[in-house]
Amino acid sequence: MPNHNAAVPSPELVDKEIKVLELRRAGLTWQRIAEETGYADHTGAYAAYKRAIKRTMQQPADELREAELDRIDRLQLALCLKAIKSDNA
């Protein structure tokens, strides 16, 4: 059953949260996202991110998760290759 008491976010807030998602997808830190979007600190940016994930359509959220997994995979591969190279030196 829908929650009729839930506040509808303003278009400005939705735009700001979309910007948070885009900046995180680009790999910015929470602090940098806060600075770029006007939040006081990293906790505000992270809270906006969590709200945006809940409110966005599933596809953009899935794309963001996929980008984060890809970033982690590339980092892990680079570190593994470096470790292997160091073992063979």
- 3-state SS assignment for residue 88: helix
**Residue-by-residue pLDDT tens, the chain, 89 positions:** 444 445 778 889 989 999 999 999 999 999 999 999 999 999 999 999 998 888 766 667 788 889 999 999 999 999 999 888 887 66
Strands, E, within 1-89: which ranges? none
Distance CA 89, CA 87 (A): 6
pTM here is 0.58
